Amino acid sequence: MTVKPEVVVVGAGPAGGLAARQLARKGHTVLILEEHKKVGQPVHCAGLIGINGLHENGVIPKSKVIIRRVRQSIFHAPGGGQLVLDKGEPHAYVLHRDRLDQQIVQEAEAAGATVQLETRVTRCKREQNGMRVTIRERESKRDLHAQFVVNAEGVRARLAQDQGLPRPKRDYMLPALQYEVTNVALPPDAVHLYFNSALARGFFAWIIPLETNHARVGLASAHRQIRQALDKFLIQNQLLSGAKIEKRYGGIVYAGGPSSRTIAPRFVNIGDAAGQTKATTGGGVVAGGACAIMVASNISNALQNGSYNHRDLQRYERRWKRSWGRQLQLMAYLRRFVNTLENHELDQLFEKLQASKAREVIQRRGDIDHQGRLITSALTSPVLLQSVLKLLFSKSRFLPKILRG
């Protein structure tokens, strides 16, 4: 790009790609910098993404991006109990995640954004009229200048610190491992989630159907020995008997809740870098994408106004916190509460859920992305509320941890 970009976007993940696409559609000059050779790779994702949420973000995945659509979520308790939620129609896509990221970035390019691969941003520094962005391209290093930096560098968020912004909390960065397996016969439209504090403390294990006879099997956990845990899960789970591993992926799932501050003068953290993930499931494609779209509109206003006014970014911070922040925070409380439960307590909670009206509420109102509303309406069931309060009371020593993280 010979023209000075108005906005530099760090990272070509879904958050960076969507921010760039929206800014370019408003006619701004945008440069996306991505450290890898290819957008979307390496893959670190199960690719289970809410249909409504993705569409609300203006992303209609092309047919080559979609593997299948799922209708049922089957939650497994440690003792074997199950909770089946079936919305009667598909609610989530199973996607090729690398192709999704590529589609979004191609849409950004079609709108006029420029993408530069194999370029790592090493530093961002505020100057009088903008930001100086230091980049490393293969062997060389140089500086660029932009009016704004949108930092969508993912969960490690190294650039945030120089701007005085909090990074995602280390204690909630959970190592994850996922296998693509073949030779399995699974119902095609159900995903399975396994809660068990011995297998996956602090998170869960999953099985997601892919094409015929294929599945993604993974887990994330606060225990460090995830490989042994996943291998054991693969051997012991009846749905997976005879499974053969074809591919292995690693990654970090973030389950720590949204960051309290995401803006600095001329600099914004979005996506995983801002903790904009659901702490219940680790999913961040929809929430991060929605915040990316919001920030693009506020930055566009700021650019149109000419002179820099920090209020434009402050408006963005208030907007995303109102629409997503509270829900993400509620999910973080729920995650930290569930993390305190031992297996027998998880079994009890599953039983209460199964027996109470809450199951119907979840089934009716459940939304894979907007879980905040769901949590509050599920707790209107007296049976469930009573058992949650009882468990909470017995865990009162954990309350500071649940409330503050």
User: What is the Cα gyration radius of the chain?
Assistant: 21
178 vs 262, beta carbon nearer ligand FAD: 178
Residue 212: count of CB within 10 angstroms of its CB: 11
Q: Could you say which residues in the range 107-146 bind ligand FAD, by CB under 6 A?
A: 120-121
Stretch of 13-21, 67-75, 138-146, 337-345 contacting ligand FAD, by CB under 6 A: 13-21
Interaction of residue 209 with ligand FAD, rule CB under 6 A = no
Name the nearest CA neighbour of 20 among 155, 163, 160, 149. 149
Tallying the residues shown for the chain, one arrives at 405
- Using the contact rule CB under 6 A, the part of the chain among 8-16, 81-89, 185-193, 370-378 near ligand FAD is 8-16
- The interface mask with ligand FAD, positions 212-251, x = CB under 6 A, is ------x--------------------------------x
For 174, the token pair is 């959970």
Residues touching ligand FAD: how many (CB under 6 A)?
A: 37
To the nearest whole angstrom, how small is the minimum distance from the Cβ of residue 189 to ligand FAD? 16
Interface with ligand FAD (CB under 6 A), residue from 7, 8, 9, 10: 10
Stretch that binds ligand FAD, among 41-49, 81-89, 106-114, 337-345 (CB under 6 A): 41-49
CA separation for the pair 208, 313 (Å, rounded):
39
Distance CA 137, CA 134 (A): 10
Binding segment toward ligand FAD, per CB under 6 A, in 75-83, 271-279, 299-307, 372-380? 271-279
- CA-nearest of 278, 286, 222 to 255 is 278
Considering only 7, 8, 9, 12, the residue that binds ligand FAD (CB under 6 A) is: 12
Decide whether 155 or 384 has the Cβ nearer to ligand FAD. 155
Cα gap 63→45, rounded to integer Å = 19
Which residues in the 145-174 window bind ligand FAD by CB under 6 A? 152-154
Q: Please report whether residue 272 would count as binding ligand FAD according to CB under 6 A.
A: yes
**For ligand FAD, which is the closer residue by CB, 206 or 337?**
206
Residue 176 or 346 having the CB closest to ligand FAD: 176
Q: Which of 47, 78, 275, 366 is close enough to bind ligand FAD by CB under 6 A? A: 47
Block residue for tokens 């920030």: 295
Indicate which single residue of 49, 104, 210, 255 sits in contact with ligand FAD (rule: CB under 6 A): 49
Residue selected from 5, 6, 9, 11 as contacting ligand FAD according to rule CB under 6 A: 11
Q: How many CB atoms lie within 10 A of CB 162?
A: 13
Distances (CA, A) of 309 to 23, 48, 127, 302: 18, 39, 15, 7
Tokens at residue 90, please? 């598909």
**Binding segment (CB under 6 A) for ligand FAD, from list 14-22, 196-204, 336-344, 354-362:** 14-22
Residue 159 is encoded by which pair of tokens?
A: 């650039």
Binding of ligand FAD at residue 366 (CB under 6 A)? no
Q: Are 206 and 194 in contact (CB under 8 A)?
A: yes
Question: In the complex, which residues of this chain contact ligand FAD (CB under 6 A)?
Answer: 10-16, 33-36, 44-49, 120-121, 152-154, 176, 178, 218, 251-253, 271-273, 277, 282-285, 288
